[in-house]
Structure 1
Amino acid sequence: MTGGIGCVQCGTRSNPCRCKVVGPTLGCLCFLGAAIIEWPVGACVYLFKHVKGRRIMAHPATVVYPKVSNAIPI
């Protein structure tokens, strides 16, 4: 905790206080938004093509969250 602000990823060098709050928070919101759409679609695809369905359902966690979280340095 630095200056009364809750830290999510302390120890990063991307900003002066070395804490990321905004990026991971927006990443989480984007993850949830993508998951609401992609998980049901992935479940339907999984019935016919297991590997493709798993890849669709993993997309929010493996692509969306890291890209959004890392794009915002604070």
Structure 2
Amino acid sequence: MTGGIGIPVCVQCGTHSNPCRCKVVGPTVGLLAFTAAAIVEWPVGALVYCFRHRKGRHIMAHPATVVYPSVSNAIPI
């Protein structure tokens, strides 16, 4: 019986940032950065949302709108 935790791997095909037209490293690192940012920012955003709705939504959207695209696009492979 084998078991274990698999490593998440993201693949983005159809990109023009490299000759292979597929990215693996950038999206995978982007997912890890998104997860780390979300663990911190979503509870903070939920707390802020109780008092200032627009600001709370902005904080909770930050990992998806800023962190993931920035990291994913920074690594061309």
| 1:1-74 mapped onto 2 (5 Å cutoff) | 8-74=11-77
Letter in 2 for 1:55: H
Unaligned runs of 5+ in 2: 1-8
Which consecutive aligned stretches of 4+ in structure 1 deviate over 3 angstroms post-superposition? none
Higher strand share: 2
2: CA distance, partners of 1:13 / 1:48? 43
RMSD: 1.4
TM-score by length of 2: 0.84
Superposition deviation, residue 40 in structure 1: 0.3
TM-score by length of 1: 0.87
Superposition deviation, residue 7 in structure 1: 7.3
Unaligned runs of 5+ in 1: 1-5
Aligned residue number for residue 3 of structure 1: none
Letter in 1 for 2:44: V
Q: Deviations over 1:12-47 (max 9, x none)?
A: 121121110000000000000000000000000000
CA contact (8 A) 2:10 2:28 kept: no
2: CA distance, partners of 1:67 / 1:26? 11
